[in-house]
Amino acid sequence: MMKHKNPIIIERVYNAPISLVWKALTEKDLMKQWYFELSGFKLEIGFEFQFYGQGLKGESYLHKCTILEIEPLEKLKYTWTYEGHEGYSTVTFELSEESANKTKVKLKHEGLETFPINNPDFAKKNFSNGWTYIINTALKDFLEAR
């Protein structure tokens, strides 16, 4: 097993039941409200999904992902690669119930060092900023507005 260096890890507790948090992470119609507009999404091992994201200067990157692990209400892990660029990373969401209406989410993005170092869009800082926004603002606002 490859040992990854310096993954991004962000933890956050949301004022939302674990069932809602899991749905937000796994249902396409909910994901587009806080995450990305996916071409399709099925909660099954080996399912491949993709979406476009923008680089610093407006470049469009096709993100290609394959689901690796599913533990309902506990863990979702998938690959995170880019069409036309080298590199292989994984994204893991781990959920734990803090109380009836509080859920802790731990995001881990590993393998960032495998992306091209000469492209500023793949700098760790950009991933860190992106995930910080997604976890601390986008997902929080989505969940806590319900």
* pTM metric for this prediction: 0.94
Q: Per-residue pLDDT averaged across 40-51, rounded?
A: 97
Whether 138 has a pLDDT exceeding 80, the answer reads: yes
Residue ranges of E strands in 33-119: 48-54, 60-71, 75-82, 89-99, 102-110
Residues 75, 86: Cα–Cα separation, whole Å: 26
Residues 62, 36: Cα–Cα separation, whole Å: 12
What are the residue boundaries of the structural domains of the chain, listed by start? 8-144
pLDDT at 87: 97
Q: What is the pLDDT of residues 74-98, one digit of tens each?
A: 999 999 999 999 999 999 999 999 9
Residues 128, 34: Cα–Cα separation, whole Å: 17
Answer yes or no: CATH 3.40.50.300 is held by domain 8-144.
no
